[in-house]
Amino acid sequence: MAEKKHSKLAENIIKLVGGKSNIEKADNCMTRLRIGIIDQSLVQKEKIKSLEGVLGLVEQSGQVQVVLGPGKVNKITDIVKEMLSRKSSQGKEKNINEVAVEARKNLKDKQKQRASANFVKHFANIFLPIIPAFVGCGIILGILNVLNRLTAGSFASSQLGMELALFGGLIYFGLNIFVGMNTAKEFGGTPVLGGIMAAVITTPGLSGLTIWGDQLIPGRGGVIAVVMLVIFTSWLEKKIRKYIPESLDLFVTSTLVILIGGLVALYFIQPIGGTIASGIAVFFKYLLANGGPFAGFIMAGLFLPLVMVGLHQGLIPIHAQLLQELGYNAFWPILAMAGGAQVGSAIAVYIKTDKKRLKNIIMTALPVGVLGIGEPLIYGVTLPLRRSFLAACLGAGVGGTVIAGFHVAVTAIGISGILCTIVSNKPLLYLIGLAASYIGGFVFTWLIGFDDSIYAEEE
């Protein structure tokens, strides 16, 4: 029964975005089906939003993101991909609409080659595939932290403790390589060459080299240096390939990319990337040390609007960089309060509303909201009710104030909500901050109120 519903929903989504001919590609993150669109004027936004099972819709340049929620989004995406891969059995000549769509696609492809790329979208495509590894390794490190606290630190030196530390640290061991490969893929280079360039930044052999009078440090610049370098080498690879005969491409192109890219990495990218990465870490340390609770209020309160438009993905490299530079991240738990405030706001709505469909949406979205996945609550509850979205932003600020005031930090990213407790340096204080965000979201929603009349028409 569920499979039938998923298939029907996938079919309707494809139809309402303009059909298969209007789709470039389909992929997903943890909660959203991301569809590359050729002509956005063909997308029937309101009809998509009204589909049963759809929690919201986000439009970006050349893309439509359908919010479906965790777990479900993977199943729907697989079905959509399967439907897109089926070839039409009709051998008809193209009609005028198909010709027009193809012309628009060709124009769009040319525009993509220009320098007007959307870097937030690129960052999302680079880092989103790595998030499951962050989450899995983070949970393992969290379990290790809990067991260490219970045994006064003795568990870490046990065989199992050392194994958990090994498994939990794997994401950081391979992070630069993963980022390098994804960056090359995103910018049109060969993924394995992107991984090789990341290795140039990371290899222990750097410690024996001196450039510009300074000894090189393995890993300096972290993911920032890797992204900068691989964007350059992906461009370089495409340029070289234009002038190399196909018979020599395998031997010449990769060799030149590694030689030229490697030299650029050593003499320019690592020093520049290192300065930028260190600057980011210093900035956030200064902001939290001097801005204190007020900075926490502003950062947490503004995070939900960033999530709403998808710009929060642009912060992922900053989170990763803070961990690489400092060994902890005090920015992440502040932003996690936005999800907590949504939970509080949704509970207030559930108590006050008499709309059955709205209550059902809240009950479906609340469990994952408590675990830190807030998009179903954003698009299914607070954003459609408008004033409750504002209330959630204010509630997030309350939680962010507490977290910043107590200097709470985490040792892993990718985990929010109540599970973030296990990777926190101050678990009890993190829980107090999370409770403050719940209460803040609830109280502000109760006081400001909301208009749920849009759900009355659907019952």
Count Cα neighbours of 119 within 13 Å in the Cβ-side half-sphere. Answer: 8
CA distance 414 to 131: 6
Q: Provide the pairing of β-strand 210-211 with 214-215.
A: antiparallel
pLDDT in tens, 349-358: 999 998 888 8
Q: Which residues of the chain have pLDDT under 70?
A: 1-2, 61, 87-121, 124, 309-311, 313-314, 456-459
Instruction: Give CA separation, 343 vs 347, 388, 398, 430, 436, in Å.
Output: 6, 11, 14, 16, 11
Burial of 439: CB neighbours in 10 Å, binned 0-12, 13-18, 19+: middle
Per the annotation, the verdict on 29 as an active-site residue is: yes
Residue with structure tokens 């040319």? Answer: 110
Q: What is the pTM of this model?
A: 0.67
Q: How far apart are the first and last CA of the chain?
A: 23
**How wide is the angle at C-alpha 373 spanned by C-alphas 372 and 374, nearest 5°?**
100
| Token pair in block for residue 217 | 């440090």
pLDDT value, residue 199: 93
pLDDT value, residue 98: 52
Residue with structure tokens 């240096």? Answer: 225
Which candidate in 29, 137, 393, 420 is catalytic? 29
Helix 356-370, helix 331-352: angle, nearest 10: 160
Give the 3-state DSSP-derived string for the chain, with helices as H, strands as E and coil as C. Answer: CHHHHHHHHHHHHHHHCCCHHHEEEEEECCCEEEEEECCHHHCCHHHHHHCCCCCEEEEECCEEEEECCCCHHHHHHHHHHHHHHCCCCCCCCCCHHHHHHHHHHHHHHHHHCCCCCCHHHHHHHHHHHHHHHHHHHHHHHHHHHHHHHHCCCHHHHCHHHHHHHHHHCHHHHHHHHHHHHHHHHHCCCCHHHHHHHHHHHHCHHHHHCEECCEECCCCCCHHHHHHHHHHHHHHHHHHHHHHCCHHHHHHHHHHHHHHHHHHHHHHHHHHHHHHHHHHHHHHHHHHHHHHHHHHHHHHHHHHHHHHHHCHHHHHHHHHHHHHHHHCCECHHHHHHHHHHHHHHHHHHHHHHCCCHHHHHHHHHHHHHHHCCCCHHHHHHHHHHHCHHHHHHHHHHHHHHHHHHHHCCCECCCCCCHHHHHHHECCHHHHHHHHHHHHHHHHHHHHHHCCCCHHHHHHC
Please give the CATH architecture assigned to the domain spanning 1-86.
Answer: 2-Layer Sandwich (3.30)
Residue with structure tokens 């495409």? Answer: 238
Count Cα neighbours of 405 within 13 Å in the Cβ-side half-sphere. Answer: 14
Extents of the domains making up the chain? 1-86, 127-287, 328-458
The answer to whether the beta carbons of residues 212 and 268 sit under 8 Å apart is: no
